[in-house]
């Protein structure tokens, strides 16, 4: 599937295509840069909310509690859960995604776990690009949870 086909599928709501697009952006591939440039032009309409705090502070619980209220105003919501990188794979540990499993079946909610890849400050250096891409894909709200 080329970048154009992948973006068409992602724009139609295909979660696998959205995931592949975000992976390309995270990995800074040529396809990822092309997709981001295209999505950046069609974005700029959504809101971004950041939720941060110490481990165990209740960030995932707060995010889950906010979702029904956010969905009342937004057709689609994306959650970017930034987790520490696994020392074995380098990928996200996925703890936040597990805690938000109750929303996984809702077609209006897209949850993406992102590894911080050793970046300081709670987010990975590709998080702004991921948020821009999700905005370009029509998510009315993007919640970043660190």
Structure confidence at residue 123 (pLDDT):
78
Give, for all 146 residues of the chain, the pLDDT tens digit.
899 999 999 999 999 999 999 999 999 999 999 999 999 998 888 999 999 988 788 888 899 899 999 999 989 999 998 876 444 444 444 555 455 666 667 889 999 988 876 656 667 889 999 999 999 999 999 999 98
Structure confidence at residue 121 (pLDDT):
60
Q: What is the domain count for the chain?
A: 1
The torsion angles phi and psi of 114, rounded to 5 degrees, stand at -130, 130
Q: What's the first-to-final CA gap in the chain, in angstroms?
A: 32
CATH number (domain holding residue 65): 3.40.50.300
Domain that holds residue 32: 3-145
Structure confidence at residue 43 (pLDDT):
83
pTM recorded for the entire structure: 0.86
């Amino acid at each position: 599937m080329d970048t154009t086909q992948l973006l068409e599928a992602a724009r139609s709501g295909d979660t696998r295509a959205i995931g592949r697009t975000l992976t390309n952006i995270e990995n800074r591939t040529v396809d990822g840069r092309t997709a981001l440039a295209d999505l950046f032009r069609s974005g700029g309409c959504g809101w971004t909310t950041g939720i941060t705090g110490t481990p165990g502070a209740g960030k995932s619980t707060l995010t889950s509690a906010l979702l029904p209220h956010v969905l009342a105003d937004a057709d689609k919501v994306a959650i970017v859960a930034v987790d520490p990188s696994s020392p074995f794979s380098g990928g996200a540990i996925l703890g936040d995604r597990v805690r938000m499993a109750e929303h996984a079946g809702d077609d209006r909610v897209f949850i993406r776990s992102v590894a911080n890849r050793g970046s300081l400050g709670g987010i990975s250096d590709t998080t702004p690009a991921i948020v821009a891409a999700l905005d370009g894909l029509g998510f009315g709200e993007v919640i970043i949870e660190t």
